[in-house]
Amino acid sequence: MSLRELIGQHLIIGVAGTTLTNDEKKFIVDNNIAGIILMGRNCVSPEQIRNLCAEIQSLRHKMKDKAPLFIGIDMEGGRVHRLKPPFTQWPPLKLVGDLDAPTVAFHFAQRMGTELMSVGINLDFAPCIDIFNNPKNTVIGDRAIGSDAQHVEKMTSALIRGYIKSGILSCGKHFPGHGMTVVDSHEELPVEEADLKRLHDVELLPFKKAARSRVDMMMTSHILFKNIDPKNPVTLSEFFLKKLLREEMKYKGLVVTDDLDMKAMAKYYDKEEIPVLAKLAGADLMLYCNEPASPPAAIEGLLNAVAQGRLTEDNLRQSHQRILEVKKIKLLSPDPRPLEDVMEIVGNPEHLALADSIRKGIMPDGLLNE
């Protein structure tokens, strides 16, 4: 395996449209890319999404690792919801939290995951397990389960169990907690006052629960905690990713960055340097959602870092092995279901009824315990 192919298995990238271009196919294959994130621009109908996922997965047979690709999406419910009807339109997580019923949270995640899996999406960048502890925080708002740490912790476990039951990979975000911020990291780098004791007492509780509940990935936040690591935002902080998440919290899953093109990163660091700093800090997977020029630049940056001796091949091989292990264990049937099955699963009446009950604040009837 070439160094370029080894590096490529650390990237999840966006694509331009509803099918792959020849250039995109060539880039994915030649660089052994780990996975694709689907955005709103990529999603039109169940049939189109199913065909796109099948097209993406067919590339694995030509790639060096021959491993299934991650096909991820941001599907939290509410305003973070990429899929249009006839997919079930899930309500925001806050309304699930308001019912305070782990069984409802479990079925919410399980049924959402089942619809995604049917069309070939195998990774949901959810649940959002930030605690909504600042009313001015419009970035998170109703994306959060609630404002009480113990309540969020309890519901986190149920949501992750639901995703596991559906077969989809889940991702807890945004480590170590985005609930206090008022600055949107899409536009600027948030700076937080919280110290480590505060994080352990409050913000980290759901993330610790997520780790114990076998969440597959943790997504890093682009936040600078000036009283903990005054130099590095979490995504680029060895303290947060290696010492806190890996060593203290004993987290064994994959660490994925939030989108590295967000301005919290792009305004302060060189495009080729960002993935190098994230990798050195302890990230396994680098996420690039929107900018076509960024993944090639990331690969060049990482190649140069190895050539300069800043990053070792051994470091890359360790995370490469972690990534492949997850794929080997979890992505056993990566291809989408037949279209007739998809159309029975997507927008299933039971799913619609559950979403409607949650939206109305009514405990759904007939839910079996997990």
For residue 350, give the CATH number of its domain.
3.20.20.300
- Contact between 217 and 255 under an 8 Å Cβ cutoff? The reply is yes
Whether residue 137 lies inside any domain: the answer is yes
Q: What is the pLDDT of residue 184?
A: 81
Whether residue 370 lies inside any domain: the answer is no
Work out the mean pLDDT of the chain and round it to a whole number.
96
Whether residue 85 lies inside any domain: the answer is yes
Separation CA 296–CA 115 (nearest Å): 32
Confidence label for 365 from pLDDT (cuts 50, 70 and 90): confident
Is 186 labeled as catalytic in the residue annotation? yes
Which of 170-184, 248-262, 348-362 is the least confident region? 170-184
Host domain of residue 224: 3-360
Whether residue 369 lies inside any domain: the answer is no
142 — phi, psi (to 5°)?
-80, 5
Catalytic residue among 216, 258, 261, 284: 258
pTM: 0.97
pLDDT digits (tens, 9 = 90+) for 156-174: 999 999 999 999 999 999 9
Whether residue 367 lies inside any domain: the answer is no
Q: What is the pLDDT of residue 138?
A: 81
Q: What is the pLDDT of residue 369?
A: 66
Q: Partners of 35 in the beta sheet?
A: 12, 70
pLDDT digits (tens, 9 = 90+) for 283-321: 999 999 999 999 999 999 999 999 999 999 999 999 999
Strands 35-38 and 11-14, by their bridges, are parallel
Whether residue 80 lies inside any domain: the answer is yes
306 — phi, psi (to 5°)?
-70, -45
Whether residue 138 lies inside any domain: the answer is yes
Whether residue 307 lies inside any domain: the answer is yes
Residue 173 parent element (H or E) = strand 169-175
Residue 146 has pLDDT above 90, yes or no: yes
Give the CA count within 13 Å in the CB-facing half-sphere of 136: 5
Q: Where are the alpha helices (DSSP H) in 203-338?
A: 205-212, 238, 263-266, 273-281, 294-307, 313-330
Q: Reduced to 3 states, what is the DSSP secondary structure of residue 138?
A: coil
Q: How many domains does the chain have?
A: 1
